[in-house]
Amino acid sequence: MLKSINLKITPEAKYICSWNGNSIVQLHTSDTLYKEYKETNLFDENIDSYFECMGNGFDNFIMKDYLEHSSTDSDFIDVKFYNDNMIITRVA
């Protein structure tokens, strides 16, 4: 890597998203995540699409609600949420 990435250069929340045991790892804002995955089932609003935090005291969320809550609450930073083959973690 020639240059480091400053995650705090813009005020919006940033998320590390990984699929299939880190075979795909991407850094997103809520907008870039939606733009890239809006045509997939990632943003489905049915009960089977909950993201879980596995005992860290947070509620389960559908993606839309998770992004809405986590983008304004710094308590979500570094808390992993799991759904099927994806993990999403707010990092900044």
pLDDT digit string (tens) for 8-55? Answer: 888 899 999 999 999 999 999 999 999 999 998 888 887 667 888 876
In angstroms, the CA 91 to CA 33 distance is 14
Task: Output DSSP code: residue 88.
Answer: E
Length of the chain: 92
pLDDT digit string (tens) for 50-75? Answer: 888 876 678 889 899 999 999 999 99
Q: What is the pLDDT of residue 18?
A: 97
Instruction: Take residue 5 and report the two structure tokens written for it.
Output: 């990435």
Report residue 78's pLDDT band, with 50, 70 and 90 as the boundaries: very high
Residue 1 has pLDDT above 60, yes or no: no
Instruction: Take residue 68 and report the two structure tokens written for it.
Output: 């809405």
Under the phi-then-psi rule, with left for phi > 0, alpha for psi from -120 to 50, and beta for the rest, what region is 68? alpha
Element (H, E) at 83: strand 80-83
